[in-house]
Amino acid sequence: MKLNVDGLLVYFPYDYIYPEQFTYMLELKRSLDAKGHCVLEMPSGTGKTVSLLSLIVAYLRTNPVDVTKLVYCSRTVPELEKVIEELKSLMKYYEQELGEQPTILGLALSSRKNLCIHPRVSKEPTGKEVDAGCQGLTASYIRTKHHYDSSVPLCSYFEAFDDNGRDAPIDPGVYNLDDLKDIGQERGWCPYFLARYTIMHANIVVYSYHYLLDPKIAELVSKDLPKTSVVVFDEAHNIDNVCIDSLSVNITRRTLDRGEGNLEYLKGSIERIKEVDENKLKREYQRLVEGLRLANEERETDAQLANPVLPDEYYKRQCPETFEMQNIF
């Protein structure tokens, strides 16, 4: 179905549209024209996802300078996959109507846990363990170690992507998580880093709230998104909970005990270093004085060099200032 929404030609991949869907698209179109913010609400099951995608894709195609990217944020992996499936249906309808595939690249991005294909790391039971296993094979210092010691293991999928994947972007189309993993298996590339790299030049990106709202993740993934992007938060009433979760830290009693133990160890190390440096300074001073005395005796046999004594406070000042600062603990 083709619709005229406030002068914009919109391709809608179904034979029937609810009045609420048309009103939804109309208000969204006006918000995009105004380059402002918009809060829209529709009952569940009335097709808001396909309405939103149909309108914004049409706007992308008609106004490529004003709007260059759609960033669609959702909460869970099943919801991300649902958005991608709706987008695939829309692109299929475009191809059917236009006789050619639109030159639009869209993909989903999720965690390493959902995209890793490494035979060992991908079998780890939790996301944190997968992240740790991946970083243990791809971190820059690990790769540096491998350069000098070939026995240090690396991830062959990441190395292959780093060597060839950045110069061979994937073709236009819509890719869900399984599609990305299939490309990774076919080309020997890491699907996670392929997706991370591809979102920079993709037209449509579907990922979790955290990739945009969590400062630690956004700094790595989303900081280079263009200002001409349209950002959509699906189920936006969850934003406050996501922000609270992203900026919260859980501290257990075990963490506190280990922190206290580390401080005690640091304090003892500083005291030992101060003692060693003080004794070393005294020995060096005595050696210097003795050397001067012998040299003077050689020159003047009737003169005797007195051995001066420095106060204890002098030795203590020779400890580096950073060690003195340990007293703040």
Tens of pLDDT, residues 2-41: 999 999 999 999 999 999 999 999 999 999 999 989 999 8
pLDDT on residue 169? 79
Burial zone of 154 (CB within 10 Å; 0-12 exposed, 13-18 middle, 19+ buried): middle
Q: What's the start-to-end Cα distance of the chain, in Å?
A: 71
In angstroms, rounded to a whole number, what is the distance separating the alpha carbons of residues 151 and 291?
A: 52
In DSSP notation, 118-145 reads -TTGGG-SSHHHHHHHHHHHH-HHHHHH
Q: Is 41 helix (H, G, I), strand (E, B) or coil?
A: coil
- Placement of tokens 């079998």 in the chain: 123
Q: Where is mean pLDDT largest: 184-193, 220-229, 283-292, 294-303?
A: 184-193
CA–CA gap between residue 305 and residue 293 (Å, rounded) = 5
Residue type, 169: P
Return d(Cα 201, Cα 46) in angstroms, integer: 31
pLDDT above 70 coverage of the chain, percent: 90
- Say if CB 213 and CB 243 are below 8 A apart: yes
- Structure confidence at residue 156 (pLDDT): 96
Q: Flag whether pLDDT at 309 surpasses 60.
A: no
Q: What is the pLDDT of residues 49-89, one digit of tens each?
A: 999 999 999 999 999 999 999 999 998 999 999 999 999 99
Buried b (16+ CB within 10 A) or exposed e, 65-87: eebbbbbbbbbeeebbbbbbebb
Tokens of 100: 């050619």
pLDDT at 187 (0 to 100): 94
Average pLDDT, integer, range 127-154: 94
Give the total residue count for the chain.
329
Has residue 313 got a pLDDT over 90? no
Provide Rg for the chain, Cα atoms. 32
What's CA 65's distance to the chain center, in Å?
A: 28
Place of tokens 């500083």: 270
Yes or no: say if 201 and 105 are a contact pair by the CB < 8 Å rule. Answer: yes
Q: Please identify which residue in the block is written with the tokens 């010691």.
A: 149
Closest CA relative to residue 174, chosen from 73, 60, 84: 84
The predicted-structure confidence for 153-211, as pLDDT tens digits, reads as follows 999 999 999 999 888 779 999 999 999 999 999 999 999 999 999 999 999 999 999 99
Which range, of 219-223, 230-234, 296-300, averages the lowest pLDDT? 296-300
208 DSSP β-pair partners: 74
